[in-house]
Amino acid sequence: SQTIHQWPATLVQPVGSPLSLECTVEGTSNPNLYWYRQAAGRGLQLLFYSVGIGQISSEVPQNLSASRPQDRQFILSSKKLLLSDSGFYLCAWRDDLAGVDEQYFGPGTRLTVT
């Protein structure tokens, strides 16, 4: 069966520090991968999605970037964090090859920028 991992679960970082959040998926090949951010008490904002290795689409201009170095690995990064980068970051995957429309979410990373 497929599983999705995110780490770390929580992170406290000072303003101006770099960021690297990792997401990996097991049990599937060539998934579509997504990064979302959720502000406290709000819905999810799509940040990036990827349909294949090295293919990244950015949804909104921001202080973040994403990379997909391997088929089942999706990384969210920043060179210098801002206070406004605080939030709950969720990775999700979708099995586009199987024509499945549902997304499956990881447990999330709660980032606090101080």
Partner 1 sequence: SQQGEEDPQALSIQEGENATMNCSYKTSINNLQWYRQNSGRGLVHLILIRSNEREKHSGRLRVTLDTSKKSSSLLITASRAADTASYFCATEPVRDFNKFYFGSGTKLNVKP
Residues that bind partner 1 (CB under 8 A): 32, 34, 36, 42-46, 49, 51, 59, 88, 90, 92, 94, 96, 101-108, 110
User: Which amino acid belongs to residue 108?
Assistant: G
Coil/strand/helix, residue 85: helix
Query: Least Å distance between CB 73 and partner 1?
Result: 18
Nearer to partner 1, 65 or 103 (CB): 103
CB of residue 43 vs partner 1: minimum separation in angstroms?
4
- Joined together, the tokens standing for residue 94 give 């979708």
Residue 92 or 113: the one with the smaller Cβ distance to partner 1 is 92
Closest C-alpha among 105, 81, 79, 110 to residue 93: 105
Give the span between the Cα atoms of 3 and 70, in whole angstroms: 16
SS3 84: helix
Nearest CA-CA partner of 34 in 13, 6, 11? 6
- For partner 1, give the closer residue by CB, 59 or 80: 59
Closest distance of CB 107 from partner 1, Å: 5
Smallest distance from partner 1 to CB 90, Å: 6
Closer residue to partner 1 (CB): 26 or 59: 59
